[in-house]
Chains A and B, each alone.
Chain A
Amino acid sequence: MKRFQDKTTGLLTNIDLKGAKGKIIYWTFFAILIVCCLLTFLPAVWTVFTALKGPNEIYTSSSFFPENLSWSIFVDRVKDSWNQLKFGKSMINTFYFSIIQWLFKIGVCTFAGYVFSKLKPKGSTMVFTLILWTMMMPAQMRTVPNYISFLSFPFASRSEFGIGINLLDTYWPLWLGGAVDAFAIMLFKNAFDSISDSVVEAATIDGANKVQVFFTMMIPLSTPIIIYESIMTLSGSWSNFFGPYLIIQDSAKQLLPAKIFLMSKDGTVKQNTYLMGLIIASIPQLLIYAFFKRYIMGGINVGGVKG
């Protein structure tokens, strides 16, 4: 266990912590944190326990804990819920969706970042400003016009030419719309900015062209940022609800977040199965968090104030 002496100075100093008053304040803080941890955890624990309750038990007992708990009950509950909810297909869809989304986004945004950071053709500063503006433009207004343009892609509306492809019930609107993200472009630009120009220049003199410089220098030298953005993109696909809900009506193509929303509207799903569904839907992101915690928690420094 760490000692108070190790503490860096803050509101409470080492000297404060030697006195009784400092100690009381410190442990009060600690208690507040424990209470907050409980508050964040209680809903999650309740979800798990209720999900494990039997089908009749949820209505008869108002106990926090399930009456019986054993490995076989656990397995049965998961199996029953899985069979009723049929999430398998939409989980595969979401996985597939997230991989392609990741390819599109990293591809489009790193290239753009490269242009604005290193190539800097004439006018790039202006275009970059335009891109930054989009970051804070209220997004809600775009919902309906975007939907209209998906009916006759790539035109803005059907009346213009009477032609165009209907992209509803495909993943294309989501992939293309999700591929470009001003924040990611800015992130990559900043990462590439920190790579010294003289290194790039040396490589150019040695005969490397733009593409080679990009793949052999830019990408390898900014791996942390690319990993961070990759994690965010991959996990984002598992929580993106509204867009997929609007665009994909075909139940065979449904993505998981929209699927659990539809589940909640289905009156035949009982509370225990319902909550089990929510747990299943949260598992992918929880796994990503468990494996890449370091990057996710550290990522906040990447974004700085603009987070």
Chain B
Amino acid sequence: MKNSKPQNTKKTRGGSYYKKSFLGSWIFAVPAIILMYMFIWRPTVMGFVWSFFKMKGYRPMNFIGIQNYIEVIKDTEFIPLFANTLQYVIWSLIVGFLPPILLAVIINEMVHFKQKIMTFLYLPAVIPAIAVSLLWTQMYDPSDLGLLNMILGKFGIAPYQWLNDGRFTILWIVVSMTWKSFPSAMLLYYSALQGVNQELYEAATIDGAGMLQRAWFVMRPQIMGVLILNFVRQIIGVFQVMEQPLAMTGGGPSGASASLGFQLYNYGFVTQRVGHAMALGAIIFVVLIFMTIFYFRLNKKLEESI
């Protein structure tokens, strides 16, 4: 919307006043391009290449075909890990997707204390992610030292195991992630809502549309783009979850909260199965790249429609 100005770009293409010096222009972008190559493009390509190599420590030795992939997939943990990762994604969509939207809609309606409420709600977003994970680990403490069991105790309920309850460990981790991430999503939706043309609401009101009808026929189409984009982006982001299980549970109890990303960290830096780490990375990459292509297609379509 703000960044696509095709008419403008075309007019200045080739920048007539600088045409003379081709190298003199490129030189400014050289640091960015070199760093981009070294830190993003090269490792991505090398990750693929080395996933077909036998690694000795961090040194690639000889080509072994798809041996690494076979070993990673045949690992008895692979299927459960994949399922766990999907669980993270699904829980995060259930728990984390709707609340920021509803909050943004509600805040958009507020007359009183709007700015103050926003300031307060934004608090979790400015606490370092690792501190949030560690804080929630304390809140989930299975003895009555934790905040949540303390509250349960006030109602006379026995302490609950929280993170140690393997069936729901992922859900509790996702709750803590949501607490951290909802304010920025909320802000994003809020700014989209602010962009909705006021006259459309007025016109709808004059035509006799009630509150819900205004929400569905006026508000929804206008913010649908941002919603879908964020939906896809959340899937891509959560699929790579790693720091939270690392910090909160160490993958436990008995692997119940380990994700593919966490396993990649284990392969790469703990158990020193570097070739396997590379193969697993490639698998994650391939799964997500489809998602990403879909995202870009969608993004382009939406930008064109705006």
Contact = CB atoms under 8 A, between A and B. Distances in A.
Interface string A252-276: 0000010011001000000100110
A73 interface: no
B229 A305 contact: yes
B7 to A, nearest CB: 12
Contacts of B295: 136
Interface in A1-51: 1-4, 6-13, 15-16, 25-26, 29-30, 32-33, 36-37, 39-44, 46-47, 50
B121 A285 contact: no
Interface in B90-137: 103, 105-112, 117-124, 126-131, 134-137
Nearest to A236: B128
Given A136-B295, A138-B284, A12 B268 contact: no
Shortest beta-carbon contacts, A-B, top 8: A239-B128, A112-B32, A145-B43, A141-B281, A119-B25, A121-B25, A180-B35, A115-B29
B118 A109 contact: no
Contacts of A46: 139, 147
Contacts of B225: 305
Range class of the B interface residue count: 35 or more
A111 B131 contact: no
B130 A235 contact: no
Contacts of B202: 9
B8 interface: yes
A37 B295 CA distance: 32
A298 to B, nearest CB: 9
B155 interface: no
Contacts of A32: 106
B110 A1 contact: no
B69 interface: no
A11 B223 CA distance: 14
Contacts of A282: 126-128, 131
A282 to B, nearest CB: 5
B63 interface: no
A146 interface: yes
A71 interface: no
Contacts of B129: 239, 241
A161 interface: no
- Give the most central of B33, B111, B184: most A CB within 10 Å: B111
Interface of A: 1-4, 6-13, 15-16, 25-26, 29-30, 32-33, 36-37, 39-44, 46-47, 50, 58-59, 62, 64, 107-109, 111-112, 114-116, 118-122, 124, 127, 130-131, 134, 136-149, 151, 154, 156-159, 176-177, 179-180, 182, 185-186, 189-190, 193, 197, 200-201, 204-205, 210, 214, 235, 238-239, 241-242, 246, 257, 260-261, 264, 271, 274-275, 278, 281-282, 285-286, 288-289, 293, 296-297, 300-301, 304-307
A16 B109 CA distance: 12
B40 to A, nearest CB: 5
Given A134-B40, A148-B58, A119 B15 contact: yes
B303 to A, nearest CB: 7
B118 to A, nearest CB: 7
Contact of A143 (B41, B126, B281, B292): B281
Contacts of A304: 1-3
B39 A201 contact: no
A164 to B, nearest CB: 12
Most buried by A among B28, B47, B236: B28
Contacts of B44: 137, 141-142, 145
B38 A120 contact: no
B295 to A, nearest CB: 6
A12 B211 contact: yes
Contacts of B3: 186, 189-190, 193, 304, 306
B42 interface: yes
B163 interface: no
B80 interface: no
Contacts of B261: 140
A122 B22 contact: yes
21 contacts: A4-B111, A6-B111, A9-B198, A10-B201, A11-B109, A36-B121, A40-B123, A47-B135, A112-B32, A118-B12, A131-B36, A134-B36, A140-B284, A142-B47, A145-B50, A145-B278, A148-B46, A159-B60, A282-B127, A286-B126, A289-B122
A221 to B, nearest CB: 16
Contacts of A296: 122, 126
Contact of B130 (A130, A156, A246, A257): A257
B134 A300 contact: no
Residue picked from A138, A177, A193, most chain B C-beta under 10 Å: A138
B58 A127 contact: no
